[in-house]
Amino acid sequence: MGVLLAGAMVNLPLAPPFLSGLTQEVLVERPPQKGWVLYRVQPGDTLASIANRYGVDLRAILWSSGLSSDRLQVGQEIKIPLTAYEERPPRIPPGVVIHKVRPGETLALLADRYGVSLLDLVSANPGLESLDRLMEGSPLYVPKGQKGLLVELAKGQTLVDLAARFGLSPLEVVRANGVKDPLAIKPGDLVLLPGIQAKTTYQRLLAKQEEERRARLEALRRQEEERRLAQARLRREAQMRAQARPPQVQKPVVRRVSYQEGGMRWPLSGFRITTYFGQRGAFQRFHTGVDLAAPYGTPVYAARGGQVEVAGWSGLGYGLHVILDHGGGVETLYAHLSRIAVRPGAWVEAGEVIGYVGSTGWATGPHLHFEVRVEGSPRNPLAYLP
Ligand SMILES: [Zn+2]
């Protein structure tokens, strides 16, 4: 049928009776943005069906056509305003809020946050493709009030048709959508169908989720398998290389530094080495010095000249101990002393008495625990001793 813009008057010819069935099929694909169309009433037309076909409020037609009743006569000319529907955004039922999906959000997470069930959330978004992969930034409808199926009213469809399709009374649907008049809901508006759940969609999405979970696990399993194979291959290659080479015995290298080069003298004149550097001891997994057993009270000499850095008690198991600073980042430590003979800050010559053998701190018997440290890390003292 003819559609005319911007208020120009045109007489639409009366359709011959045998064509009246056809003329009812006329659909306005893209309603004009502004103005109105003139329409001549066809047999079978009602004001509601015309209003719905053009997506406008029935009352607006009444008003713009100057009608006092909705009774139409075939051949009657009416004015259909087109602005009302186009200018308002699609309607959303009361109690439904729009959530914009943020990265990493899943349906389960959002259901939990809004305190609704997954099924309710799926029912409000029956077009969802996945429970886990939501499109970032896309709107998700959350039914905070009444729950039900949320669908868009299609063109050419009325709220009454929609209610009937789901076995609901129009009154029930009208109430759930917070309107009084079914015609207040236009094509493109969202309609809440109370109590209807998208169970089939939900089941399908659950099945899909499970399928995706299995696929992820399978991919992980395959990755792990590949990693394991790659490792085994590397091990085999390393073995083959090792077999190809004559075995090399690693000898511990002890660097000896001569006394002239800045070496040290033994801190005791008579002793027996009981624990070497690096050995597992009673109190240390890795022995940081060398233990020299000697009778209680044996004098302990400075292994090299330097300044007394520490002379006192240690909470770390050294007991009474002395630390000498020899410069150049080199320090010596003397632990488990029974008595200390120097004060912090004092300068001592190599061979000067700095204390006496004891068993203070973590010690099982009288001995000197002697450490050499370079830049703070313990070194094998034997490398510095004659
Ligand atoms: Zn020790």
d(CA 354, CA 360): 16
Question: Is residue 277 within 8 Å of residue 289, measured between CB atoms?
Answer: yes
Distance 290 CA to ligand 1 centre (A): 6
Question: Is residue 380 within 8 Å of residue 275, measured between CB atoms?
Answer: no
CATH of span 17-87 = 3.10.350.10
Distance 340 CA to ligand 1 centre (A): 18
Residue 79's DSSP bridge partners are: 38
- pLDDT at 262 (0 to 100): 54
Nearest to 317 by CA among 283, 276, 274, 342: 283
Distance 105 CA to ligand 1 centre (A): 58
d(CA 137, CA 298): 81
Distance 250 CA to ligand 1 centre (A): 26
Domain with CATH 2.70.70.10 in the chain: 259-383
- CATH code matching the domain that covers 96-201, chosen among 2.40.160.20, 3.10.350.10, 3.20.20.80, 3.40.50.12280: 3.10.350.10
Distance 264 CA to ligand 1 centre (A): 18
Which backbone phi and psi does 251 adopt, to 5 degrees? -95, 135
- pLDDT at 10 (0 to 100): 36
Distance 328 CA to ligand 1 centre (A): 24
Q: Residue 59 burial (CB < 10 Å; 0-12/13-18/19+)?
A: middle
Question: Is residue 289 within 8 Å of residue 297, measured between CB atoms?
Answer: no
Domain with CATH 3.10.350.10 in the chain: 17-87, 96-201
Q: 301: part of which helix (H) or strand (E)?
A: strand 299-301
**Which tens digits make up the pLDDT trace of 301-343?**
999 999 999 999 987 789 999 999 998 899 999 999 999 999 9
Distance 261 CA to ligand 1 centre (A): 26
Distance 368 CA to ligand 1 centre (A): 7
Q: List per-residue pLDDT tens for the chain, 386 residues long.
A: 334 333 333 333 343 334 333 333 344 444 444 567 788 999 989 888 888 887 777 777 887 787 877 788 899 988 887 654 445 677 899 999 989 888 888 899 999 999 999 999 999 999 888 888 888 888 899 999 999 999 999 888 888 889 998 999 999 999 999 988 888 888 889 999 999 999 888 998 889 888 888 888 888 888 888 888 888 888 888 887 777 665 444 444 444 433 444 579 999 998 999 989 988 766 677 899 999 999 999 999 999 999 999 999 987 789 999 999 998 899 999 999 999 999 999 999 999 999 999 999 988 899 999 999 999 899 999 988 88
- pLDDT at 310 (0 to 100): 94
Q: Which CATH class is domain 259-383?
A: mainly beta
Distance 363 CA to ligand 1 centre (A): 8
Question: Is residue 150 within 8 Å of residue 93, measured between CB atoms?
Answer: yes
- pLDDT at 226 (0 to 100): 85
Q: 330: part of which helix (H) or strand (E)?
A: strand 330-340
Nearest to 275 by CA among 350, 362, 377: 362
Nearest to 267 by CA among 113, 118, 386: 386
Distance 370 CA to ligand 1 centre (A): 7
- pLDDT at 79 (0 to 100): 84
